[in-house]
Amino acid sequence: MLAVRCASARPVHPLRHSFPSRLTSLPFSTSSSPCSSSLRPWSGLDTWRRAPPSELRKWGPSGPIPQDFPVQEVEAIGSASSLAELGAEVLSTADPLTKSKLSNLAFSKWRRLKLPVGHAAAPDQPARPDKPVLVLTKEVPSPKNSGLPLNAYMLHNLAHVELNAIDLAWDTVVRFSPLHDVLGDGFFDDFARVADDESRHFGWCSQRLIELGFKYGDMPAHNLLWRECAKTAGDVSARLAAIPLVQEARGLDAGPRLVQKLVGCADHRSSQIVAKIAEEEVAHVAVGVYWFANVCQKLGRTSCSTFKDLLEEYGVELKGPFNYSARDEAGIPRHWYDNTISQDATNDLSKVHDRLACIVAMEKENSA
């Protein structure tokens, strides 16, 4: 049995950093998964994986535009010789904007030089700046007591989520790097790309806050997201369930509501940024579905029941209302997270969706 232990990990459990040694990095196959009939992988996953590292790190007059880094910043990450070492360097960086830039440079170097995944020690928690001050969730100021206008308040909260997401993705790369022989390069490449996406999202939010006359750190924030990450430090299946399939999926639920609130504030520029971030988060949830099903397949376990068991064991709460259309696009079967919907009902809905899509396609063809 392959096992990884860390200071914060619980005792070893069959779902906790543990795989039969005879297993290798098998390609994902929905046909061999016990829940295969309900898994509908996101159609854009292969395109997302093949894309080069994005240079669209500034928000221009009408959308994202390229941003080049000075030569000295590119050279700043030159000492690391593996992906895990690169990730550890990002995790050890406290300044948010520097962390964001290093995340992009790390992923770019990994792809450009075809580095090995390697091994590195993940810190118990990532380096953080002095501000924002981290407080209990109930102590985070309300909008009227924050000192920020509502649109800046919402952007600050989103920037905090995105900064945490950078560290969550890199921690997954670094902490589970000893499982490389089982998970394969694809797992680590996917989560390094997620980290790069999140770093771009943080940059957009930070830029917009500055345009509004504020900056990240201007109000206290909570540490809830990292606590969720720390709980799953010893269990790759639980990490996948709790972070991409719950935390990232909550972003799919909240995104459209946040866009509408910003439109209500007459801040259309911020609403466009949030809409783009929400659109790109679909890939991150889809990656979670893909690798969670892959891990369950290697363990010979049923994806849907394992997902529910892990959430119960780790005390991870599912909260609605759910954005069913975005979750469907990302490939999360509805009966995984909504107890009011059975698997049979989900399959029936999928058939209706396919039929409607076919009708729409035919109508477009006829009208052309």
The β-bridge partners of 65 are 58
CA-CA distances (angstroms) from residue 155 to 72, 217, 255? 30, 11, 12
For domain 44-60+76-337, the CATH architecture is Up-down Bundle (1.20)
pLDDT at residue number 3: 29
Q: Tokens in use for 127?
A: 């380096």
pLDDT at residue number 296: 96
Residues 288, 15, 342: CA angle, nearest 5 degrees: 60
Task: Tell me how far apart the alpha carbons of residues 179 and 101 are, in angstroms, rounded to a whole number.
Answer: 27
Task: Tell me how far apart the alpha carbons of residues 277 and 202 are, in angstroms, rounded to a whole number.
Answer: 10
CA-CA distances (angstroms) from residue 233 to 8, 11, 176? 7, 12, 9
Q: Tokens in use for 100?
A: 């964001």
| Chain center to CA of 335 | 21
Task: Tell me how far apart the alpha carbons of residues 98 and 90 are, in angstroms, rounded to a whole number.
Answer: 9
Max distance between CA atoms of the chain, in angstroms, equals: 63
Could you tell me if 146 and 111 are in contact, meaning their C-beta atoms sit under 8 angstroms apart?
no
Q: Tokens in use for 277?
A: 């971030």
Residue ranges in the chain whose pLDDT is less than 50: 1-15, 17-37, 71-72, 344-364
Task: Tell me how far apart the alpha carbons of residues 105 and 113 are, in angstroms, rounded to a whole number.
Answer: 12
pLDDT at residue number 35: 44
pLDDT at residue number 228: 83
Strand intervals (E) in 270-351: none
pLDDT at residue number 224: 87
pLDDT at residue number 346: 45
Task: Tell me how far apart the alpha carbons of residues 361 and 353 are, in angstroms, rounded to a whole number.
Answer: 12
Could you tell me if 343 and 332 are in contact, meaning their C-beta atoms sit under 8 angstroms apart?
no
This prediction's pTM: 0.84
